[in-house]
Structure 1
Amino acid sequence: MKKRLLTVLLVASMCLCLTACGGSSDDKKDNKKTEDTDAKKDDKKDDKKDEEPDDGIINFDGKDYNVTYSRHEVGTDYEGNPCLFYYYNFTNNKSEASSVMAVAMIKAFQNGVQCDSAYILEENEAINNYMKEIQPGTSLEICQTFKLADMSEVTIEASDFVSFDDKKDTQIITLQ
């Protein structure tokens, strides 16, 4: 009889210990979640303080390179459809030769949809420069062409080709 009573008391005390531990664990998790959320909010505030105001023109400093808007024009692709010629200067700041194709990503969006690349027939040196490697410290004018759905405004985004953050620069182009 004494053994049964001792066993019941041990089981009851273990249940109380587990219940007590479980309650405090949830409280710690809730407190940790609140602390993590507050820390993330503070980090976002600090990031916004470090950012410069957007001037509306692409001037993107990527990893070891810079892309700066030069000019744009509307032309036609090989089928006679309208397309955007987007010109920018690419500066290689790496310690080795590099091409814009390998490090930067330039995208165009129209009506909220990404524009496809346009293909043209006429010779354009700036378009050919897209794949050329350039030496450190050198700048080269690059042109990328994008198909247009209509003559509404186009949003250009510049970012790293491979990126682990959301760093980008945007520009809105009004077509004429």
Structure 2
Amino acid sequence: MKKRLLTVLLVASMCLCLTACGGSSDDKKDDKKTEEADDKKDDKKDDKKDEKKDEEPDDGIINFDGKDYNVTYSRHEVGTDYEGNPCLFYYYNYTNNEDKASSVMTAATIKAFQNGVECDSAYVTEENEAITNYMKEIQPGTTLEICQTFKLSDTSEVTIEASDFISLDDKKDTQIIALQ
């Protein structure tokens, strides 16, 4: 019985040794893969730096080329919502560059931030064709003026962000609007 127990212990210790030795070559392969991945990341960072050098400097006005569309700032004004609270009317031109009809509602996202917090949409009672244009589909090559309204918490500046509605990158354009 003692011999069997000793044999089992020896076999178990040999298995552990083989497992430990076998893992070291895999670790070297993993280290090489990690180094290669790090090198690729560094190359991508360098590429992004080169791309930024090629881009025009940001002019502080929304002129965003999204996937198959363009959004360009037109104007803005301060008004009131249906309760009499202050709100921002943000006007922009949406150009459909796709080969089929589309609407800004399904292509782009326009957000407003005040004091670092996203502004809610404001609801207004006045007639405004640019507001109703938000849901309209337009044919390829057509440009339409759109208006979105945002609730204001005070008179501090508002940051507008334009980006793709669905995107795999963080590409966006920003604009700061002074309300006073």
Same fold by TM-score greater than 0.5 = yes
Alpha-carbon separation, structure 1, partners of 2:111 and 2:130:
17
**Which of 142-151 and 161-170 deviates more?**
161-170
Identity over the aligned pairs, expressed in percent?
A: 72
Alpha-carbon separation, structure 1, partners of 2:132 and 2:154:
26
Alpha-carbon separation, structure 2, partners of 1:27 and 1:14:
21
Alignment of 1:24-173 (within 5 A): 24-51=25-52, 52=55, 53-173=57-177
Give the counterpart letter for 2:86 in structure 1.
P
Structure 2 unaligned blocks of 5 or more? none
Alpha-carbon distance, 1:15 to partner:
5.0
Cα shift readout 1:53-83 (whole Å, capped 9, x = no counterpart): 3221111111110001111111111111111
Alpha-carbon distance, 1:11 to partner:
7.4
Give the counterpart letter for 2:51 in structure 1.
D
SS in 2 for 1:23: helix
Structure 1 unaligned blocks of 5 or more? none
Alpha-carbon separation, structure 2, partners of 1:166 and 1:112:
18
Q: Which residue of 1 aligns with 2:20?
A: 19
SS in 1 for 2:39: helix
Give the counterpart letter for 1:155 in structure 2.
T
TM-score (norm 2): 0.86
Alpha-carbon separation, structure 1, partners of 2:9 and 2:87:
83
Give the counterpart letter for 2:119 in structure 1.
C
Cα shift readout 1:88-139 (whole Å, capped 9, x = no counterpart): 0000011111111111110111111110000111111111111111111010
TM-score (norm 1): 0.87
Alpha-carbon distance, 1:32 to partner:
1.9
1:174 aligned onto 2:178: yes
User: Structure 1 segments of 4 or more deviating over 6 A?
Assistant: 7-13
Cα RMSD of the aligned pairs, angstroms, is 2.3
